[in-house]
Structure 1
Amino acid sequence: MKNYKTIFFDLDGTLIESGPGIVFAIREMMKDLGLPDMQENELSKFVGPPLMTGFSELLGLSGSALNEAIALYRKKYDELGLNVTSAYKGIPELLCELKSRGKKLGVVTSKIQPTAEAHLKRFGLWQYIDYLRGGDPQGIGEKEYLLKLAVSDMLSKDREPAVMVGDRLFDLNAAHVAGMDCIGVLYGYGTSEEIEACKPTYVARSVEELAKLLLT
């Protein structure tokens, strides 16, 4: 495996297990807005894409109704969702070891910057992160654009070896567009079919497998 000098991580489903908190907050938001409940497998589709994309495509919202839903969701998540969110077992240790080996670590997420930073601090990960690129406050946060900004900020013109690690097609496709290797993780919220269809450079079925890839 290449000796990657810079490693970009997605946040939800890659570093933190945020699905339960996201689903809980969405259910509470839908209840308050009088929207019909959805099955668990449908709700899990909200984990990964930008809020504006997920809410418009999966709930059919637009305009002021879309903005209201995004604002209410964020309120519910900040109040309640964080309580059922955690870092994946082994992630703090992995980031610590990568930093000790001189790796530059970045996080690229559709979550808005303050929320993403709060998550990283809450779970003891912030101390290992060199760079954070969050999404737009309006819910616009296409991963291709965010990773492009991160690459511009973190990588030199010589483009030292770098890799993107993520659990959804948004992460892996963004890496392809950026001309970067990528690792698809199967312990997050993307299906094996989704990950395989993106043709990642490597696949990790667990945090342990991810550690083996990045540390050897």
Structure 2
Amino acid sequence: MNLLFDLDGTLTDPYQGITKSICHALKTLGRPVNRQMDLRWCIGPPLKSSFAKLLETDDGKLIQEAIAIYRERFGTVGLFENEVYEAIPETLETLRDDGHFLYVATSKPTVFAKRIIEHFDLGKYFRAVHGSELDGTHSDKTDLLAHILQRERIAPAETIMIGDRKHDMIGAKSNDICGIGVLWGYGTRDELEASGAQACIRYPEALRTAFDK
């Protein structure tokens, strides 16, 4: 089976790096930042849509400026303010050794995703890391998964998307891929099931026996 793994909220917990970099961008742009501001919802969706909501604007130039400022911090500091979820390495090793083909499928730019995967020594488990381009290409999960299916020449019927947010499940459903939701990340069971998850997994260890070869 081909197993596509989301990155943020599925393999690693990126909360500190993402939220601190968002706050850095907002402060630089002179926007007020409330310490009590809940930014959990920003983990998962494409950054462009998150900044559009945070800045309350559809001004593409301003949104791109915010993203550029965000990346200045995230690309040097934020991407390592991150931690691998407990039992993820062991789970990936078991799945790989059982004969499954593992891929990373993230809306995060590939250049950042690869650095994170290698930093945490997870690269040995994956056949490839697929993300978006810095210009936003493939940041939508539906487009990204379609790209992966074509690029890797894999069949939807032999592929499963594993992620923690609705975007993962919507992208999977749109590409006729089975979607499995994980509950240790940033999405709720209600969100995942309403978006098409065919099952939800509470702990990483449960993935080790969840798939037939």
Q: 1:110 matched to which residue of 2?
A: 107
Question: Equivalents in 1 of 2:181, 2:161: separation in Å?
Answer: 9
1:89–1:185 Cα change, 3 Å:
same
Whether 2:19 is the aligned partner of 1:58: answer no
Unaligned runs of 5+ in 1: none
Question: Equivalents in 2 of 1:202, 1:39: separation in Å?
Answer: 35
Whether 2:86 is the aligned partner of 1:84: answer no
1:47–1:151 Cα change, 3 Å:
same
Structure 1 position 33, deviation (Å): 1.4
Q: 1:174 matched to which residue of 2?
A: 171
Structure 1 position 59, deviation (Å): 2.3
Whether 2:8 is the aligned partner of 1:12: answer yes
Structure 1 position 19, deviation (Å): 1.7
Question: Equivalents in 2 of 1:153, 1:184: separation in Å?
Answer: 24
Percent identical residues: 34
Structure 1 position 38, deviation (Å): 4.4
Whether 2:192 is the aligned partner of 1:192: answer no
What pairs with 1:20-59 in structure 2 (closer than 5 Å)? 20-38=16-34, 42-59=38-55
Question: Equivalents in 2 of 1:29, 1:171: separation in Å?
Answer: 26
Q: Is the 8 A contact 1:143 1:174 kept in 2?
A: yes
Question: Equivalents in 1 of 2:142, 2:18: separation in Å?
Answer: 22
Structure 1 position 57, deviation (Å): 2.7
Question: Equivalents in 2 of 1:27, 1:155: separation in Å?
Answer: 40
Q: 1:143 matched to which residue of 2?
A: 141
Q: After alignment, is 19-28 or 161-170 more displaced? A: 19-28
Q: 2:120 matched to which residue of 1?
A: 123
**TM-score, normalized by length of structure 2?**
0.91
RMSD: 1.9
Q: Is the 8 A contact 1:185 1:210 kept in 2?
A: no
AA at the equivalent of 2:202: R
Question: Equivalents in 1 of 2:210, 2:36: separation in Å?
Answer: 32
SS at 1:42's partner residue?
coil
1:137–1:213 Cα change, 3 Å:
same
Q: How many pairs does the alignment contain?
A: 211
Question: Equivalents in 1 of 2:195, 2:106: separation in Å?
Answer: 18
